[in-house]
Amino acid sequence: MFLGDPNVGFMSQKKSLNEATGGSWVAVGSGLTVGGGGTPGICALGDNKVIASESFADDLFLCSFTGSAWNLLSTYASANRNAPVLAGLSSALFAHYDSSTDFLQAFSVSGSTIAAVGSPYTYASTGYQSMCALTDTRIAFLDSGSGKLEVFDWTGSGWTKVGTSYSPGGVTYSSMARLTNDTIALFVAGTDLLRVFRFNGSTWSQVGTTYTSLVIAKNAMAALSENVIVIADAANLLLRCFKWDGNAFSPFGTNTSVASMNASGVSVCRIDENRVALYSYTSNTVQTYQFNPTY
């Protein structure tokens, strides 16, 4: 059974990426141009289906990938999609934070219909945000304005803050990805550090060592498995993988250049086994890339 964001579960993996010795990226199929060229955000709703949004168009776009092409299924028109931040909780539910309204809002998806559900949580901010689904009812959330890493639970009608806040330090913006239901990979710009944090139900703590000297775009990280992440390297316009061994990250596989990537804005999510959807500021295009592991 699919549990929330494709970064949850990884039960469809035929062979663990932990067994792989490397791999390489390849573009798959044709892309889909949606939106008006603002700061992008994207999250997955199960295999081969995503919600995309960007800050110039006041819309949420429901898109699906056939294996060879992306299609637009529906559009949810609503004002104030400033620097959108998204997290897929299940195939029928996703979270969206809008910094222009300060609302953390849940949305349902039924067929091709998108609808706001429950009451929004007001989180006042002057910074940039990132978030990811930990389970089908829980998200991790980081705001650069407050500098706090938080956890929120979806009750079915609204959002409830869980546990205490954690300050990872030096946050100008961030990217995160779920590794397990209590563990995330977190990149913090300002210090340019990639670290792993674990939530014990009450507090966050760092696990293992820190990887330094990276530049990752806002909300441009996804997990291919519980120990392999993909990042959009904004400085070099590359898709790159890193493997977590339980204590440290190390580069993994061969990088690939993405001409449509832009340091000003790119967002990525995992859509199916070793595939990710990349939504770029430059081209306004949702495009699929596949990581082919070697063993």
Total tally of structural domains belonging to the chain: 1
- At CB < 8 A and 24+ separation, what contacts does 26-30 make? 26/256, 26/289, 26/290, 26/292, 27/287, 27/288, 27/289, 27/290, 28/67, 28/68, 28/275, 28/288, 28/289, 28/290, 29/65, 29/66, 29/67, 29/68, 29/69, 29/70, 29/288, 30/68, 30/69, 30/70
pLDDT tens digits for range 81-91: 667 899 999 99
- Measured CA to CA, the distance from residue 135 to residue 128 in angstroms comes to 23
pLDDT tens digits for range 279-292: 987 778 999 999 99
Is residue 258 classed exposed, middle or buried when 0-12, 13-18 and 19+ CB atoms within 10 A define those classes? buried
pLDDT tens digits for range 62-80: 999 999 999 999 999 874 5
Q: What is the pLDDT of residue 80?
A: 56
Q: Is residue 9 part of a domain?
A: no
| Cβ–Cβ < 8 Å for 27, 113 | no
| Cβ–Cβ < 8 Å for 253, 228 | no
Q: What is the pLDDT of residue 4?
A: 45
- 6-15, 47-56, 252-261, range with the lowest pLDDT: 6-15
Look up residue 69 and give its DSSP letter: B
Q: Is residue 6 part of a domain?
A: no
Q: Is residue 2 part of a domain?
A: no
Token digits of residue 77: 């028109």
> 166 is in which domain, residue-wise?
17-294
pTM over 0.85: yes
Q: Is residue 11 part of a domain?
A: no
Q: Is residue 205 part of a domain?
A: yes
Residue 205 binned pLDDT confidence (cut-offs 50, 70, 90): very high
First to last CA, the chain: 27
Token digits of residue 278: 């990349």
| Number of residues that this document lists for the chain | 295
**Mean pLDDT to the nearest integer, 122-133:** 91
Domain with residue 124: its CATH number is 2.120.10.30
Q: What is the DSSP string of 45-60?
A: -STTEEEEEESSS-EE
Q: Is residue 187 part of a domain?
A: yes
Token digits of residue 261: 């990537």
Q: What is the pLDDT of residue 236?
A: 83
| Cβ–Cβ < 8 Å for 17, 272 | no
Greater confidence (13 vs 45) lies with 45
Among candidates 114, 88, 59, which has minimal Cα distance to 222? Answer: 88
Q: What is the pLDDT of residue 38?
A: 79
- Measured CA to CA, the distance from residue 65 to residue 67 in angstroms comes to 6
Residue 6 binned pLDDT confidence (cut-offs 50, 70, 90): very low
Look up residue 200 and give its DSSP letter: -
Q: Is residue 95 part of a domain?
A: yes
Q: What is the pLDDT of residue 14?
A: 60
Phi, psi of 82 (to 5 degrees): -75, 120
Among candidates 54, 129, 52, which has minimal Cα distance to 94? Answer: 52
C-alpha angle 12/291/239, rounded to 5°? 130
Phi, psi of 90 (to 5 degrees): -160, 180
Q: Is residue 10 part of a domain?
A: no
Greater confidence (231 vs 6) lies with 231
Q: What is the pLDDT of residue 35?
A: 82
- Measured CA to CA, the distance from residue 4 to residue 16 in angstroms comes to 20
